[in-house]
Amino acid sequence: MTEPAIRVVRFDAWVDPAFDTRLRREPGIALAVHPMPASPAIAHAALADAHVYHVSAARDELPAYCRVDDELLARCPQLLCASSYGAGFDPIDVAACTRAGVAVVNQSGGNAVSVAEHTLGLILAVTHRIAESDRRLRLERGLSRESLTGTEIAGKTLGLVGLGHVGRRVAALAQAFGLRVLATDPLLDDDEIRRRGAQPCTLADLLAQSDIVSLHCPRDAGTLGLIDSAAIARMKPGAILISTARGGIHDERALAAAIADGRLAGAGLDVWEREPPPPEHPLLALPSVVATYHTAGVTHEARRNMATISAEQIVGVAAGERPPRLVNPEVWPRYAQRFEAITGRPLAR
């Protein structure tokens, strides 16, 4: 007898076609792609019998009722897995999923090359004043080149807050530019940080010593507000802040104030508390801030890679395998019970 299909649901935010193509050729999976729902009732109806919900990683691109929280989980009794489109998983309440026995998976590492390259691009754009020169050249004549004098990064110190998939690639690129690299990461011991190309140090020492501080940590309870006004005040005078991590990890108002008063030299920011930030945001008014719209991982290569690995991970979930990018491993015993009860078969051994 044919086993019932694992039902995968996503809404029609753009994903690389590789995702749908892979799942549609898997006989044990039924993929449903629905229009972005206009109401909670429509969202809940679409997800009512889903086993896997593949959800956008960008919180501000989703209506609140499409985010995975206690209310949505209560309306989706068959849900086994919440799968994020990206490396981040802001729209998913991980604790709520764990309580409900729902596995949370992301695609960490799938866009690491693109995000690392973007990080170096932001560093160079700020220090060499590339974006500022571009803006002024389009609007002004008679400007002095010396008014756009930049700063070399060779010989400077780069501090990485987080040394995971992206951070370790940034460390390698930074060394090619002649930067000294420091790093702090609570998930890694000192020897592993050295193996990944950085000198281990505390966050306080990193802030005090670094000419460039770059954020590469996830947004979670331990990092939300990590770079607050006090941390910004401890940064080296004339330093710059780079973030391709997540909005909310750094205090935007405190950063704007520190740049406006000249204590910090500038910032390169790809992520924002609200995306996109309002046009009147104080950071957008500062010429030494280079702003991008959460596009560090938005390359053809990264999007295709993320689609491929997320589809393969869902294929594994459907087969009863433990997913390689499981965000909440503590859910596993409860998940195993629910998987067997819902699908009628045990997990793969």
pLDDT digits 0-9 by tens, 52-79: 999 998 778 889 999 999 999 999 999 9
Q: Number of C-alpha atoms within 13 angstroms, CB side, residue 310?
A: 36
Instruction: Look over the chain and give the mean of its residue pLDDT values, rounded to a whole number.
Output: 96
The pLDDT of residue 1 is 40
Full set of structural domains in the chain with CATH: 6-109+300-343 (3.40.50.720), 112-291 (3.40.50.720)
Residue-wise pLDDT for 23-50, tens only, equals 999 999 999 999 999 999 999 999 999 9
Burial of 65 (0-12, 13-18, 19+ CB in 10 A): middle
User: What value does the CA radius of gyration of the chain take, rounded to a whole number of Å?
Assistant: 22
| pTM listed for this prediction | 0.92
Pick the closest to residue 101 from 71, 72, 75, 78 (CA basis).
Answer: 78
Burial of 41 (0-12, 13-18, 19+ CB in 10 A): exposed
- Catalytic machinery residues: 246, 275, 294
Q: Is residue 348 scored above 90 in pLDDT?
A: no
CA 334/CA 15 separation, integer angstroms:
31
Decide: 125 and 131 in contact? Cβ < 8 Å: yes
Residue-wise pLDDT for 218-266, tens only, equals 998 899 999 999 999 999 999 999 999 999 999 999 999 999 999 999 9
Q: Is residue 158 scored above 90 in pLDDT?
A: yes
Extract the tokens encoding 68.
Answer: 């995975």
Confidence label for 2 from pLDDT (cuts 50, 70 and 90): low
